[in-house]
Amino acid sequence: MTVARPATTGRSAIAALSAYSSGRSAPAWIQRSDAPRPQAVSIASISQSKRFAAVAKPAVSTRNSSSARPSRARATARAGSVAGAVANDTSYLFDVSPLVTGDGTVSFLVKSTSSDGARYYSREAGTAATAPQLQVTCGPTAPGTTSGFTATEDATVDASRPTTALGGSPRIIVDNSPVNDALVKFSVSGLSGCTVSSAMLRLTVGSSTDDNSVYGGDVYATGSTWSQGTVTYANAPAAGTRAGSVTGSVAASTAYLFDVTPLVTGDGTVSFRVKSPNSDGARYFSTEGGTAGTRPQLQVTC
């Protein structure tokens, strides 16, 4: 996980682990990118072991994720522990606050003093909710700093196929013939104490020759009670207040900013519906298309 947040007065950070269903394991190596100036950091775990004394220690970050275990990493100072019994399918928090001081890469070595070992879900197993996670909570965001949030969900809704769900495609489309609108959802967090001075929706045109358009699109407020796996033109939330537009042409493989400042007021879930009055549709990279740098992003400045 890569975390980049503006400079803040830190409060807490939580690293989450989820244990595997059965059996024993060697010490778990966890490598994560840390967040700004936390005062409390913990690891949450779900364990199958009945007895488990876990110790989180910083380790030299020389590990490659394809390796069976680090070749050179070593434990240094001890941090948080869960010294009591841990139950199946239950989360536990390991306080590693002293080990996380700001942006960058951080690794932990989790050890046990018990012969009754615990097995934890890796990133490749379980679900998104059980994968190892470092959760960092910061204090008020400093004025003048910008936070970037990648879309959590996006989808195209097509009036010519009103009951067909199109989420998961590599492009989101805005077009007026046939009518295609794009829905984009974000989860905004870490803006405690922030008065939003600017919020910009960044969309990047796809790289294909037919992805460009003579008109970029118009962004409207919309509801967030939709999921990209099930949303269709027939059940999509309606467009509300209009915010920013890109009224000129948009070129392939180029990013454009839509001003959505009136629609973003702080932490919470926010969704946008992007429309176009032009029959020359624009096709933008979705969260499933392109790279991390081309996915829909919400840039919020305090």
**Residue-range domain boundaries for the chain:** 8-139, 146-301
Per-residue pLDDT, 56:
55
Residue-wise pLDDT for 240-266, tens only, equals 999 999 999 999 999 999 999 999 999
Which of the residue ranges 50-54, 160-164, 294-298 would you say has the lowest mean pLDDT?
A: 50-54
Per-residue pLDDT, 251:
97
Per-residue pLDDT, 211:
98
Does the pLDDT value for residue 296 go beyond 90? Answer: yes
Under the banding of pLDDT at 50, 70 and 90, the label for residue 97 is confident
Fold of 146-301: Jelly Rolls (2.60.120)
Q: Are strands 282-285 and 171-176 parallel, antiparallel or unpaired?
A: antiparallel
Distances (CA, A) of 32 to 2, 29, 93, 99, 151: 7, 10, 16, 11, 21
Which one has a higher pLDDT value, 53 or 190?
190
Beta bridge partners of 268: 188
CATH of 8-139, one of 3.40.50, 1.10.101, 2.60.120, 3.30.160: 2.60.120
- At 184, the amino acid letter reads V
Beta bridge partners of 205: 284
The mean pLDDT of the chain is: 80
Per-residue pLDDT, 193:
77
- Residue 166 CA to residue 163 CA, distance in Å, equals 10
Query: What percent of the chain is modeled with pLDDT above 70?
Result: 70
Does the pLDDT value for residue 298 go beyond 50? Answer: yes
The SS3 call for residue 148 is strand
Instruction: Give the mean model confidence (pLDDT) for residues 5-11.
Output: 48
Residues 6+ away with beta carbon under 8 Å from 25: 117, 118, 119, 120
Q: Are 238 and 297 in contact (CB under 8 A)?
A: no
Q: Are 229 and 210 in contact (CB under 8 A)?
A: no
Which of the residue ranges 54-68, 74-88, 126-140, 228-242 would you say has the lowest mean pLDDT?
A: 54-68
The SS3 call for residue 32 is strand
Per-residue pLDDT, 105:
84
Task: Tell me whether the CATH fold assigned to 8-139 matches the one assigned to 146-301.
Answer: yes
Which one has a higher pLDDT value, 54 or 136?
136
Name the CA radius of gyration of the chain, rounded: 22
